Amino acid sequence: MNLLQELGLDRAALSADLARARVLVVGDVMLDRYWFGDVSRISPEAPVPVARIGRMEERAGGAANVARNIASLGGKASILSVVGDDEAATALERLMLEDGITTLLKRDAAISTTIKLRVVARQQQLIRLDFEDAPSREILADKLEQYQAVLAEHDVVILSDYGKGGLTHVTRMIELARAAGKPVLIDPKGDDYAKYAGATLLTPNRSEFKEVAGSWQNEEQLIAKAQALRAELQLDALLVTRSEEGMTLFRAEGALHQPTFAREVYDVSGAGDTVIGTMGLALAAGLSLPLAMSLANAAAGIVVGKLGTAVCTQQELFAS
């Protein structure tokens, strides 16, 4: 029995619902560059490996990877973000258009598009180089106006916070989404969750949640801390992803836990993007939070078996 049969979902009907679902993703986008090579010697200049690069890849990362996951699962994704007016922004937009994503990118000539450059040799990351700037207040104000303009065209809003400054107006964005009757899901960053108050769902990972709520000794303490935070922030739900322990959904009705779906973990980077992207798309398609979590858990289990900021396709998910 596959996942859809276990959940009592019809494949054709779900596929049609996903195709109609429209999700607006707002947040920090970045260009992930991978340089693949081989290492056979140590540099005579310093005790560091010399990587001879044989292949290069570019992928849309950050909030753009959330949108990629939505599109790969058969949904309609729009991405609203601030980028530089540079070659990296052009490459990023091209990649997203190739994936069928509607791009609403504000170009800011005063900054550089965020780039994460990874050098990989023998399936191991040697180094990561980050290039980034914070967007200006003026361009962020323009983005907020555009957010208001396109909100009605979408079923669900996902705010993907990577701490790069793109969600300066996150509190106002939540207010506008809720006033418009749109569920708003947030992948949080940092230790100040007060700004996320009133959201439909937050999806922190285990370490992010611990940074805000403190450590716990057992499951009862975890549940108490999660429910206290959910109530304090007036959230509909809180989803804590717990790596090899699976994920737990906390609602007023109680806690619902699912064990990990991963068969083999290769790379966990981007798994959080897959979780929130799948959750948002499933809710936009009319599924309940528990059903959305089941799909997100399965999708995350698939992407951690891939290298880098990968996505789960609808075919892979339905076959799981």
187 catalytic? Reply is no
Rounded Cα distance between 187 and 65, Å, is 12
| Count of C-beta atoms within a 10 Å radius of residue 175 | 14
Rounded Cα distance between 7 and 230, Å, is 26
User: Tokens 């801390």 map to which residue?
Assistant: 225
Name the β-bridge partners of 129: 117
Rounded Cα distance between 58 and 230, Å, is 38
Q: Which amino acid is at 149?
A: A
Q: Which amino acid is at 223?
A: I
* Residue 156: closest CA among 263, 17, 256, 30: 17
317 and 295 in contact (C-beta within 8 Å)?
yes
Catalytic residue among 17, 28, 187, 273: 273
> Catalytic site residues?
273
